[in-house]
Amino acid sequence: MNRLGEYLTVKHGWAFKGEHFASDGELCLLTPGNFYESGGFKENSGKERYYSGKFPKEYLCKKGDLVIAMTEQAAGLLGSAAIVPEDDKYLHNQRIGLVHCSKRIDKMYAYYLFMTSSVRRQLEGSASGTKVKHTSPERIYDVLVDVPDDIGSQQAIASLLWEIDQLTSINNQINDNL
């Protein structure tokens, strides 16, 4: 077992100024509401918060960025991971962590690691706060994980899990239509 900090870094988001929040626009703030508790990106249809002010460009997310919820605003949300679905639309807000993976870990493998009960329990156990729990990059770095040394094995595992997620999503859509 190794610490997550040996494989990745987590960057805090930027504190966007409230006076520049808008009800519509082109740039949408990522919030904990953009995460499913079990993991994955959730559109916040009708509840989006847009931003019209200036900000450092490094806080504009790219398609494929791995982000995690660092605040638990709903039970089970702390540490939930998502993949940003679009370029230049979502802003990296302060309660969200942007994950940068080293060459020792596949990004999609890291994504699925954050969905495991082991990682979630460790994050919850080390969180601060009574009503609303919070984590930090340092607490995330201390989480113990088992990661295969071979990147190819990590990619194969992540690919299989991704395919299962896609099939589940299609099945859920079919059920909703029925």
Whether 156 shows a pLDDT value over 90: the answer reads: yes
Q: How confident is the model at residue 69 (pLDDT cuts 50, 70, 90)?
A: very high
Whether 175 shows a pLDDT value over 80: the answer reads: no
Q: How confident is the model at residue 75 (pLDDT cuts 50, 70, 90)?
A: confident
Mean pLDDT of the chain: 93
In the beta sheet, which residues pair with residue 67?
A: 82, 98
Whether 121 shows a pLDDT value over 90: the answer reads: yes
Whether 96 shows a pLDDT value over 90: the answer reads: yes
Domain range list for the chain: 2-177
pLDDT at 177: 76
* pLDDT tens-digit readout, 13-59: 999 999 999 988 999 999 999 999 988 999 887 788 999 999 999 99
Q: What is the model's pTM?
A: 0.91
Task: List all residues 6 or more positions away from 117 whose beta carbon is below 8 Å from its beta carbon.
Answer: none
Q: How confident is the model at residue 130 (pLDDT cuts 50, 70, 90)?
A: confident
Burial (CB < 10 A; 0-12, 13-18, 19+), residue 119, is buried
% residues pLDDT > 70 (the chain):
100
DSSP reduced 3-state for 84: coil
Provide the strand spans (E) within the chain: 2-3, 8-12, 21-22, 28-29, 50-51, 66-69, 71-72, 81-83, 90-91, 96-101, 133-134, 144-145
Q: How confident is the model at residue 170 (pLDDT cuts 50, 70, 90)?
A: confident
Q: Tokens for 124, please give them.
A: 């919850």
pLDDT at 131: 85
Q: Which fold has domain 2-177?
A: Adenine-n6-DNA-methyltransferase TaqI; Chain A, domain 2 (3.90.220)
Whether 167 shows a pLDDT value over 90: the answer reads: no
Nearest Cα to Cα of residue 101 among 155, 162, 52: 155
Burial (CB < 10 A; 0-12, 13-18, 19+), residue 28, is buried
pLDDT at 154: 96
The dihedral over CA atoms of 9, 47, 161, 84, expressed in degrees to the nearest 10, equals: -50
Place of tokens 């942007």: 98
Nearest Cα to Cα of residue 135 among 122, 145, 147, 116: 122
SS3 for 112-162, per residue? HHCCCHHHHHHHHHHCECCCCEECCHHHHHCCEECCCCCHHHHHHHHHHHH
The dihedral over CA atoms of 136, 15, 74, 21, expressed in degrees to the nearest 10, equals: -170
